[in-house]
Amino acid sequence: MDFYLDSADYQKITEYVEAYHIKGVTSNPTIIVKDKADILKLVEVVPKDKELFMQVISDEVEGIMAETKKLMSLGKNIIVKIPASPNGLKAIKKLKEEGIKTLATGIYSVEQALMAANCGAAYVAPYVNRICDLEMDGVKAALEIQKTFKEQQIDCKVLAASFKNLMQVKELLINGIDAVTISADLMEKLIYNKNTEYAVKDFVSAWKEYTGKDTLGL
């Protein structure tokens, strides 16, 4: 499975992406606004060997296609996210016909994911927690999409997004999701466990008491 960082925070990107074998960075207009980021600077900060997903704003077919091509011209590692709206799906289909790989974002159901894949999306992004906010099971929906794609050998990856907690992430990971993109806050919780830190402190203090050293001393 692949991990992505859902962030436009330059510092967090630099801190996590290389160090923890994160496959890339995902963003959307809200994230860019929240992190007070800039598209060109974001392109610069994300290492060239990591994928960078950026989203269009236009909802007209021609506008989506033009924005997609503009974004793609900024770097070879850029994959464009297009909302799975009626026009978004049309644009995804046209772009696929031109050999352009896209991600269909804002997916709320299996049938919508299937339609996006059928139009030629290379990735779909189910919005797990936003589905939960609608009193439905977002984890189940994402897993249904993954299972259907696998069973029907549909050539489209599931990059699950919109998480509120690590329980949601865990359920997807242990059930074979292709990829998850998680916020810097959740990434930090995933990487750092205070109990591991306590255990390490115990090892070091026992060692120091015995040897007087805080390294193996070999």
Q: Going residue by residue from 165 to 184, which x/- string records binding to ligand G3P, judged by CB under 6 A?
A: ----------------x---
Dist. CA 158–CA 30, nearest whole Å? 21
CB of 166 to ligand G3P, least distance (A): 14
Which residue's CB is nearer to ligand G3P, number 28 or number 112? 28
Dist. CA 161–CA 104, nearest whole Å? 12
Residue selected from 68, 102, 162, 168 as contacting ligand G3P according to rule CB under 6 A: 162
Comparing every residue's Cβ against ligand G3P, the nearest one is 162
Give the residues across from 182 on adjacent strands: 5
Tell me which DSSP letter residue 135 carries.
T
Q: In Å, how far are 37, 45, 166, 198 from 122, measured between CA atoms?
A: 26, 24, 26, 43
CB of 216 to ligand G3P, least distance (A): 42
Q: Are 20 and 3 in contact (CB under 8 A)?
A: yes
CB of 44 to ligand G3P, least distance (A): 21
Q: Does 68 bind ligand G3P (CB under 6 A)?
A: no
Q: In Å, how far are 43, 56, 102, 104, 186 from 71, measured between CA atoms?
A: 10, 8, 12, 15, 27
Q: Which amino acid is at 176?
A: G
Q: Does 23 bind ligand G3P (CB under 6 A)?
A: no
Instruction: Look up 81 and say whether it is catalytic.
Output: yes
Q: Are 214 and 205 in contact (CB under 8 A)?
A: no
Residue selected from 28, 68, 112, 168 as contacting ligand G3P according to rule CB under 6 A: 28
Residue selected from 6, 35, 51, 67 as contacting ligand G3P according to rule CB under 6 A: 6
Q: Please report, as residue ranges, which positions from 118 to 157 form the binding site for ligand G3P (by CB under 6 A).
A: 127, 129-130
What is the full DSSP assignment across 28-54? Answer: -HHHHHHTT--HHHHHHHS-TTSEEEE
CB of 11 to ligand G3P, least distance (A): 19
The H or E element spanning position 16 is helix 10-16
CB of 211 to ligand G3P, least distance (A): 48
Q: Scanning the structure block, which residue is given the tokens 């070879």?
A: 76
Residue selected from 16, 22, 26, 113 as contacting ligand G3P according to rule CB under 6 A: 26
- Active-site entry in 12, 48, 76, 81: 81
Which residue's CB is nearer to ligand G3P, number 108 or number 207? 108
Residues that bind ligand G3P (CB under 6 A): 6, 26, 28, 127, 129-130, 161-162, 181
Catalytic residues: 81
